[in-house]
Amino acid sequence: MRNIRYVLKRKGFKPKRKVKTNFVRAENRAKRLEWAKSYHHLTTDDWRKWGFSDETRISMWGSDGKAFYWTDRPTELLLHQTEAQVQGDGGGAVFWA
Whether the predicted model's global pTM rises above the 0.75 cut: no
Residue 62: give the domain boundaries: 2-24+53-96
In a domain, 30, yes or no: no
In a domain, 42, yes or no: no
User: Is 86 a residue whose pLDDT tops 70?
Assistant: no
Q: What's residue 62's pLDDT? A: 57
Question: Considering its fold, how many domains does the chain have in total?
Answer: 1
Q: Residue 69 is inside which H or E element, if any?
A: strand 68-71
Q: Residue 36 is inside which H or E element, if any?
A: helix 26-39
In a domain, 62, yes or no: yes
Per-state percent for the chain, helix, strand, coil, to nearest 5: 30, 25, 40
Q: pLDDT: is 30 or 85 the higher one? A: 30
Rounded to whole angstroms, how far apart are CA atoms 51 and 63?
30
Give 43-85 pLDDT, tens digit per residue: 999 888 887 777 776 766 556 677 777 777 777 777 777 776 6
In a domain, 73, yes or no: yes
The mean of the pLDDT values for the chain is: 78
Is residue 45 helix, strand or coil?
Answer: helix
